[in-house]
Amino acid sequence: MCISFIYRLNATFESLTVTMVVTIRKFLSLLISIVWFRNPFTLAHWVGAALVFTGTLAFADIWTNHTGTAKENRKKKY
């Protein structure tokens, strides 16, 4: 079920968007685990998470308004 969602997401959007969605899902799973099992989440954890999100967003073109699917956008570029 989850992997089929990722395949559909990958067919519709660019790989960077898929990477961001998967990273956010993993981060939310981590936060739920920390709350549920009362594990410590130190400053180093927050810095690492911020670096991952910042690095992903640095390579993303998040300020451009894209319309259509990734395949349609690639066709427009060429």
**Domain residue spans of the chain:** 2-77
* Tens-place pLDDT, residues 1-23: 678 888 888 889 888 888 888 88
Give the count of beta carbons closer than 10 Å to the beta carbon of residue 48.
11
- Give the pLDDT confidence score for residue 36 in this predicted structure: 94
Whole-model pTM: value is: 0.62
CA dihedral over 26, 28, 7, 16, signed as positive or negative: negative
